[in-house]
């Protein structure tokens, strides 16, 4: 192939060139809107420009693999051309030559996608697997031709113009880049037009896969486990909850028996079809960071994929790695240092096992309209399930290092030593109590304390929630029951620091634990140094909407009979004494 020339589908169709999408390239990600936009752009271009004016699709980057070319950059656009050909061949048979009986484009280690393209090319029914995004793209192409052209002649003319005028250039990378993934990464980092540097986990995927025999099997595991924004087993709309949980329990049981191929079959087709990944050529250049604190609607795991990889690596090497191990920006470095402890196959299978455990036994974040909640697939007696979900939520928001609680919990589950929600809760409490074995002195719980006291506010809110019948009447318990733990970062004074419009308190009393609660930064900013009457009014609003920011704050208002004039230094001191005593007792509350 002369890489200096420009190419069209017509030129490709007259050649024997074959293309492959490497392992580290992600799945086809274009949706209907991207496919339709390209078709509109083509139609508009052909209408406005002279007949010999090409429509430039951009640069495609390849590596010569002797019998084919690996598409390093441009796989999304080349796949779209393949989808064009599948539909367009019905209007002009020249497009069939582009398809080469479904052999023009290959998907390395993705036999399902390869078989899907072949079946669509040759017109025979697909089997059980359907690539959802490709299917949507094909429907968009058919719909566009039917909706935006009046006659068959106009459609034929359009597909012929695409065949001869859709134009792209090839750039060439030497094959030595494949032997040195750091060189390949440097290439992507240097791209400043339509690319991004490969993330470390993408480079790691290539390194782990090199030389492995069961690449199709391992790739399926990687693709499934890497998608942290939905459970690894997808729930069908009409699927019974008990049946859905049984899928997880059976898959986990198979993993315990080391029957990983069978475990994968429990989830591969239900989840794989819904994957939405974005590749190099459709992402604008920017630094991509994995953050679990997304505020877009949808589900999210409580840890990111790089964090998950580091967790599995820790477990594969004995589970005794130090805190410095958990550095996502040093993912490859950590693997290089520890890779002699396991084979690639063992690591992938541990990934599958731990994703199943993580999804089933651990909370997930559920975002709706920008508000976060938590869900837990595991179910037991309602009271036990609710406590487990709430306690995990408290640990999630209060524990900076997720591995401190999540690693021992998942390892215990892997060993099949926890058999009920009550046992899981007791284990988590025991571990947490050992990490926070000493309640700080009273002075160290004040606003002026030098240490980080936020954990103790979150812990207190959990136990106030759990023991709500002790502190609240039946109607109030219904309000407390809906409390959701959030990553609040702001400590609020009920009696304000600025006393310009309020009765003056002693400074020690203003900053005491009894006058403090932890609320969201936005709400704290709204509260500012408002008159205490306004603060009470806002808390009333939270109560009415069942959207408490702090159970402790609710209790403080209740103690004042919801009358700001009753909130005195004496009452704040009494509340402080009661809450400190309650925190001390919490170490002995097992469930």
Q: Which of 302, 479, 481, 304 is nearest to 376 (CA)?
A: 302
Residues 6+ apart with CB under 8 A from 218: 109, 208, 209, 212, 344, 345, 348
Cα–Cα distance, 426 to 388 (Å, whole number): 9
pLDDT of residue 185 exceeding 70, the answer is no
Provide the pLDDT for residue 196: 42
The upper half-sphere exposure of residue 507, i.e. CA atoms within 13 Å in the direction of its Cβ, equals: 1
**pTM score above 0.85:** no
Q: Check residue 39 and give its pLDDT.
A: 95
Which residue has better confidence, 26 or 240?
Answer: 240
Q: What is the mean pLDDT of residues 57-70?
A: 82
The pLDDT tens digits of the residues spanning 67-82 come to 888 887 788 899 999 9
Under 8 Å between Cβ of 483 and 465: yes
* Residue 169 confidence class, pLDDT cut points 50, 70, 90: confident
In the three-class reduction of DSSP (H, G, I as helix; E, B as strand; rest coil), residue 216 is classed as: helix
The predicted pLDDT at position 530 comes to 64
E-assigned strand segments in 121-233: 166-173
Out of 104-118, 340-354, 362-376, 541-555, which region has the weakest mean confidence (pLDDT)?
362-376
**CA-closest candidate to residue 347, choices 250, 207, 228:** 207
Residue 543: pLDDT band by 50, 70, 90 thresholds? Answer: confident
Confidence check: pLDDT of 205 > 70: yes
Q: In sequence order, what DSSP letters do the residues of 145-171 get, joined into one string?
A: HHHS-SSHHHHHHHHHHHHHHEEEEEE
What's the rounded Cα separation, in Å, for the pair 216 and 223?
Answer: 11
Lowest mean pLDDT among 4-8, 376-380, 426-430, 584-588: 4-8
Asked if 280 and 288 count as a contact pair (C-beta separation under 8 A), the reply is: no
Phi, psi of 73 (to 5 degrees): -140, 125
Q: How many other β-carbons are positioned within 10 Å of the β-carbon of residue 408?
A: 16
166 and 11 in contact (C-beta within 8 Å)? no
Residue 126's pLDDT is what? 66
Please list, in sequence order, all residues whose beta carbon lies within 8 angstroms of the beta carbon of residue 113, skipping any fewer than 6 positions away.
27, 28, 107, 131, 134
> What is the mean predicted confidence (pLDDT) over 289-307?
63
Q: Which segment of 307-311, 421-425, 487-491, 520-524 scores lowest on mean pLDDT? A: 520-524
Residue 525 has pLDDT above 90, yes or no: no
Q: What integer pLDDT is reported at residue 488 of this predicted model?
A: 63
In a 3-state reduction of DSSP, which class is residue 44? Answer: helix
d(CA 222, CA 275): 12
User: Nearest 5 degrees, angle CA 158-CA 164-CA 166?
Assistant: 80
pLDDT of residue 287 exceeding 50: no
Average pLDDT, the chain: 84
Residue 528, pLDDT score: 54
Flag whether pLDDT at 379 surpasses 90. Answer: yes
Q: How many residues does the chain have?
A: 591
Contact 209, 215 (CB under 8 A): yes
Q: Point out the least confidently predicted range of 188-197, 373-382, 478-487.
A: 188-197
Which residues have C-beta within 8 Å of that of residue 255, sequence separation ≥ 6?
263, 349, 352, 353, 356
- Strand stretches in 24-99, DSSP E: 55-64, 69-73
- CA 313 to CA 320: how far, in whole Å? 10
d(CA 279, CA 27): 7
% of the chain exceeding 70 in pLDDT:
84
Q: What is the CB neighbour count within 10 angstroms for residue 287?
A: 6
For residues 233 and 266, the answer to whether their CB atoms sit within 8 Å is yes
Mean pLDDT of 273-289: 36
pLDDT confidence of residue 277: 39
Helices 382-398 and 454-466, axial angle in degrees (round to 10) = 170
pLDDT at 297: 44
Confidence band for 150, pLDDT divided at 50, 70 and 90:
very high
């Amino acid at each position: 192939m002369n890489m200096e020339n420009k190419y069209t589908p017509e030129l490709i169709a007259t050649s024997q060139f074959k293309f492959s999408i490497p392992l580290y390239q992600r799945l086809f990600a274009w949706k209907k809107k991207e496919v339709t936009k390209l078709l509109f752009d083509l139609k508009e271009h052909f209408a406005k420009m002279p007949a010999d004016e090409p429509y430039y699709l951009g640069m495609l980057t390849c590596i010569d693999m002797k019998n084919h070319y690996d598409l390093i950059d441009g796989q999304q656009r080349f796949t779209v051309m393949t989808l064009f050909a599948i539909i367009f061949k019905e209007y002009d048979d020249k497009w069939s030559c582009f398809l080469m009986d479904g052999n023009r484009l290959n998907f390395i280690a993705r036999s399902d996608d390869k078989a899907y393209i072949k079946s669509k090319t040759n017109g025979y029914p697909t089997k059980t697997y359907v690539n959802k995004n490709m299917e949507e793209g094909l429907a968009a192409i058919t719909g566009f031709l039917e909706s935006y052209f009046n006659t068959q002649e106009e459609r034929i003319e359009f597909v012929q113009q695409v065949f001869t005028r859709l134009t792209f250039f090839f750039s060439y990378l030497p094959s030595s880049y494949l032997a040195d993934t750091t060189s390949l990464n440097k290439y992507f980092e240097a791209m400043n037009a339509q690319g991004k540097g490969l993330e470390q986990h993408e480079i790691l995927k290539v390194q782990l896969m090199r030389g492995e025999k069961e690449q199709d099997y391992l790739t399926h595991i990687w693709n499934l486990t890497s998608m942290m924004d939905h459970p690894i087993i997808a729930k069908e709309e009409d699927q019974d909850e008990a049946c859905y949980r049984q899928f997880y329990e059976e898959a986990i049981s198979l993993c315990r028996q080391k029957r990983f191929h069978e475990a994968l079959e429990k989830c591969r087709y239900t989840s794989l079809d819904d994957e939405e990944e974005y590749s190099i050529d459709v992402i604008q250049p920017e630094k991509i960071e994995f953050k679990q604190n997304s505020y877009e609607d949808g589900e999210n795991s409580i840890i990111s994929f790089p964090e998950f990889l580091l967790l599995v690596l820790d477990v594969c090497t004995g589970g005794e790695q130090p805190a410095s191990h958990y550095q996502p920006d040093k993912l490859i470095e950590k693997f290089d240092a520890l890779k002699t402890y396991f084979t690639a196959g063992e690591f992938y299978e541990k990934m599958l096992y731990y994703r199943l455990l993580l999804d089933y036994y651990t909370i997930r974040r559920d975002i709706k309209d920008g508000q976060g909640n938590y869900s837990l697939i595991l179910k037991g007696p309602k009271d036990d399930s609710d406590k487990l979900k709430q306690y995990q939520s408290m640990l999630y928001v209060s524990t900076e290092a997720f591995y401190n609680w999540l690693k021992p919990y998942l390892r215990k589950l892997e060993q099949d030593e926890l058999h009920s929600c009550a046992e899981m809760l007791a284990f988590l409490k025991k571990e947490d109590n050992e990490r926070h074995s000493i309640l700080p002195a009273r002075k160290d719980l004040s606003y002026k304390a030098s240490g980080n006291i936020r954990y103790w506010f979150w812990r207190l809110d959990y136990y106030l929630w759990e023991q709500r019948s002790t502190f609240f009447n039946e109607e109030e318990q219904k309000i407390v029951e809906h409390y959701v733990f959030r990553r609040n970062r702001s400590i609020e004074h009920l009696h304000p620091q600025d006393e310009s419009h309020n009765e003056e308190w002693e400074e020690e009393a203003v900053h005491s634990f009894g006058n403090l609660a932890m609320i969201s930064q936005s709400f704290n900013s709204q509260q500012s140094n408002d008159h205490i009457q306004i603060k009470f009014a806002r808390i009333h609003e939270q109560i009415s909407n069942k959207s408490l920011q702090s159970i402790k704050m609710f209790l403080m208002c209740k103690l004042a009979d919801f009358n700001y004039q009753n909130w005195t230094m004496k009452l704040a001191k009494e509340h402080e004494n009661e809450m400190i005593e309650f925190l001390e007792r919490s170490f002995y509350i097992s469930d």
